[in-house]
Structure 1
Amino acid sequence: MTTGEPIWDRPHRPAWMRLLNGVGGGLRRVGVLRPRLDPDSLLASAQRRAGLSDWGDDGFREGLRALVDAFETQGPAHTFGRIFFREYCVAALTNRLRIQDDLKRHPEILSTPIRRPLFITGLPRSGTTFLHRLMCEDPGGRPLYLWETLAPSPSPRYETRLTDPRIAQARKQIGLLNSLAPRIRAAHLFDADSPEECNNLFAHGFIAGVNGFLFDVPQYVEWMNEQSLLEPYRYLRRQLQLLSWQWPGDPWLLKAPAHIYGLDSLLAVFPDACIVQIHRDPLQVLPSLCSLASAVRGITSDRVDLRRLGAEFTEAMAQGTERAIDARATADPARFFDVTYASLLADPVETVRAVRQYFGYSYDDEFAARMRRWLAENPQHKHGVHRYTLEQFGLDSDVVNRRFSRYREWTRSLARSSSPQT
């Protein structure tokens, strides 16, 4: 629950968006609400765009309904917000149709091996992107690139990985995103041909934590908390098989903070997975996360209550840490390697070496040299300083520390134990 008056953030608005929303607002006042957001309309639009109609498993429909209902429940978004949300859903549905068509026409895809994939996770804003991009300097590994998460079908080919037309399309999408929310660039650099999180792949199944980050949909988040994550991870595996069918690599190099919510399901679907969990002080994580979320949600909302956002993400992240603690209590400890944010920043190359050595992945001088070159080319704050404070989001350090007391004690116990970590 939130206490105190709202702390309003008024998002940046390009002139063309203000004009569009002004026209849409006038139509709404006379009872015309556009565009339509009912699931049947979204499904029909995706079928027309893809020229396909076989959805395969219909399990995604409940999540689609839950997301749309939650978006509408929060009140009528401005016109561009509705357009943005609709396109997000239709794009995900179109991808799902195309993926299903690929799997139906080429059933051999589901025999593609996924051996000992590496997953990086931890609280958001804890260094997961930094470590992931360093790991992806592995000359033999298989990163998941942003452009292929936005359009996984048709299966990308190794020979055209640098010239695939989807890369240019992804750059256009990123350009639009940066124009809509300029603050994002300093917090998280989206680059079409850089490694990226698994979030977009989960979005194709509509049981995806990223939806609760992008949009103000608390009703959907409550619904998601009650869902099994086994099928989303099975669908993730099928998509990875599609992506590596004609572009193999070993191992897959993956990351998403959202994995802390589903470590038990992840290991059920990828029993030989190797998981790195990064730990950082929640007092540092939360305001950084809220700052990024406020910029993203400002795309579809005219104003964002930063106090409510702070309370929401405090609870959501605390729940995530507790799910991870519970899952790891019954999992094989050999599947995990723990990293502190401080040790990662102090010696990132040594951190990668220690992780690779522990899990038995290859490591050589070429890999180390590639990482050092990447570090030289990508200094911290290269794209601007991301500034934030607890107070911006109505957060109190004592309240946050109490809510994360179990996580803090658990991380202290890890430090005292013989668990592998840096």
Structure 2
Amino acid sequence: MTMADREMPYAFDPLAPGVSDDPYPHYAKLRATNPAFEHPAGFWIVTRHADVVRLLRADHSVEDDNVAKSRIHALSMMDQDPPDHTRLRRLLTKVFTERAINGQAPLITRLVDEALDRVERQAAEHGRADLVTELAYPLPLLVICDMLGMEADYHWLRERAEVLAHSLEPVAEPTPELIAAITTAETELVDRVAAVIEAKRRNLVPENPDLLTQLIRAEDGGDVLSDEELIAQVVLLYLAGYATTMNLLANGVVALLRHPGQLRLLRERPDLDVNAADEVLRYDTSVQYSRRITLAPHEAAGTVIPKGATVLAGLASANRDEEVFGPSAAELRLDRPNARRHVSFGGGPHHCLGAALARLEIRIALGRLVRRFDRLALADDVAWHRLMITRGPVAVPVTV
């Protein structure tokens, strides 16, 4: 989209060819020249760390402008504001505890090792292996399914999740075919979750209940989740628990393979595992933007954004802000002292509920990957999904 008719110091089209391959130089120019940018398509982009954090913590509502709207989607915690969001999050927090997350470490370790076995076999047979297919995709899916007590149907879920990813994109005029595909995928996913919930209601195991069973039982001062609310939260956990982490892990692997010095550092320094997870999250996050609608005029970078505007908080751009991360902000540094100041998990009341689980999976997976294969390398160029909100590679071909 051209900007010839607008007097802007820098024109940015997030959907232009090539931007999805490497959006970060574009973000750097926006931070420097137009940090509160009004796109001619009708939305704003805020790109500096301080402004992004302020927006995430401000009294603004999360936008529900999906291509295909539904009551189930509208009932999810992600698309609610206080007090409804507070109520839903309180109920989920009662079961999505630190203890429950840390208890997944042995399972994650076993699943990572099994995935690396598959990588080794694929590389031996074909000369290369795809780390998305063998590691980044199945790991978070199997973990969240185990936590929920649900069957992990790889291909069935991946097909529907890839369709639903398009519902997050800011499409001005979606085609009837796209709307139909998104509606069908969501309906099929909701029906499957509803069937599992009904089966668990008939057989609530009294000892060692899974996360879904605990959600069914969850109560706070007499308040419980309605059937529709329960389905909506489980669909959110099901999708976010796998899709976001899949891309975070794949992006982290690509970052390490493109920085062999940092890969060697991680291999030699297990004490950096925790900080390395946050640094790869900062360096190349899978969720590039978080959407808000202004409920009142909002100031960002000296510009007043009007009430009722759709604003994209540039999480990925904020993570590379030189004002916070210094002159090396565009570099991968696993020993970066303030890596945890990234905003990859959002902020404010909508800070990601699964942040600790994602960190744990990334920490274990990356550490075991680089220490198992001391000759790990990219086997080919990396192709990226052509999406604006979600960033992740189609495949990560490697030799071991």
TM-score range, shorter chain: under 0.3
Normalized against structure 2, the TM-score is what?
A: 0.28
For normalisation by structure 1, the TM-score amounts to 0.27
